[in-house]
Amino acid sequence: MKTSKSILPASPVSTNCSFQGKFLQFYITAAVGKKLANMTNLHEKLRPDALQKYADNLTGVVTPTMSDVDLKKMMGRWFESLNSPRSTAQRCIVHHFGGLTQNDKTATFTALKIYREGTDFGQVRYSIGYAFQSGNKPGMLQIHSSESEDPVPFWIFKVGNVTKDTLGNDQYEYAIVSNWVRYPVTVLVRDPDRYKKQYEEEVMKWLEANKFINLLSKTFNLLQATEYTNCQYPESAFQMFG
């Protein structure tokens, strides 16, 4: 039986760095690789300032330019119009973000999710967690939830037009969420029907232009549109959302 190698992104060396900066990044990358191979802690070899510089360079290289994201406009209920089905067996997913607290440097908010397991008629399940803003660019968050022991990147690459919710609060119409390797990909939308009529074409063009949709994703069907036609929940299912 043949073994497959993991495909990892190249070393994060910025073309805008000085020669000294590039050398430092290569040095740190080599040290990281060596320490990982030896299963020991990186801080034994690297100064905190060097690790911080590497982290800043990493996020600066692997993340494209993002427009400013106003997290207040991310609050409320979301549906998924596009996702990566091979990465999840969840169906009829509904998200709710709320309880935002933020300052000049960081932000947190609750991240609740209801879904059906396996099929549109599967068992109703919940995920409870929170999002934490991290990194040196707007829209870079991590989700800590009951689904996983490890935090999951939640990077907001693009947001849609601003409209009003039923209470008169500003909200984004859609948000494209992924991570630095561009998989999995999720397109969050406020109203699936309105999204298909007004925004789907614009989003699909953006995803293709920015390499979220490419030959690999098309060949292996890594992105699929979702469908909520058969999705039904009793009102009691949303009581925990407030």
Q: Is residue 8 part of a domain?
A: no
Q: Which residues of 18-27 are buried (b: 16+ CB within 10 A; e: fewer)?
A: eeeeeebbee
Task: Out of 11-20, 98-107, 221-230, pick the least confident.
Answer: 11-20
Predicted TM-score of the model (pTM): 0.72
> Looking at the structure, do residues 80 and 52 belong to the same domain, yes or no?
no
> Looking at the structure, do residues 86 and 167 belong to the same domain, yes or no?
yes
**What average pLDDT is seen over the chain?**
78
> Looking at the structure, do residues 88 and 169 belong to the same domain, yes or no?
yes
Mean pLDDT score, 208-231:
84
Residue range of the domain that includes 40 = 19-62
* Integer angstrom CA distances of residue 37 from 30, 42, 45, 203: 11, 11, 14, 41
Q: Is residue 223 part of a domain?
A: yes
Q: What pLDDT score was predicted for residue 103?
A: 86
Q: What pLDDT score was predicted for residue 27?
A: 45
> Looking at the structure, do residues 54 and 120 belong to the same domain, yes or no?
no
> Looking at the structure, do residues 122 and 42 belong to the same domain, yes or no?
no
Task: Out of 10-14, 69-73, 147-151, pick the least confident.
Answer: 10-14
Q: Is the pLDDT of residue 185 over 80?
A: yes
Q: Is residue 54 part of a domain?
A: yes
Beta-carbon contacts of 213 under 8 Å, excluding residues fewer than 6 positions away, are 204, 207, 223
> Looking at the structure, do residues 85 and 58 belong to the same domain, yes or no?
no
Q: Is the pLDDT of residue 222 over 80?
A: no
- Confidence band, pLDDT 50/70/90 cuts, at residue 116: very high
Q: Is the pLDDT of residue 25 over 70?
A: no
73-104 residue pLDDT tens:
999 999 999 988 766 789 999 999 999 999 88
> Looking at the structure, do residues 49 and 105 belong to the same domain, yes or no?
no
Beta-carbon contacts of 166 under 8 Å, excluding residues fewer than 6 positions away, are none
Place of tokens 């601003």: 162
> Looking at the structure, do residues 35 and 93 belong to the same domain, yes or no?
no
Q: Number of folded domains in the chain?
A: 2
> Looking at the structure, do residues 108 and 56 belong to the same domain, yes or no?
no
Integer-rounded Cα radius of gyration of the chain: 20
> Looking at the structure, do residues 45 and 161 belong to the same domain, yes or no?
no
> Looking at the structure, do residues 29 and 88 belong to the same domain, yes or no?
no
Q: Is residue 94 part of a domain?
A: yes
CATH of the domain at 231: 2.40.128.20
> Looking at the structure, do residues 91 and 151 belong to the same domain, yes or no?
yes
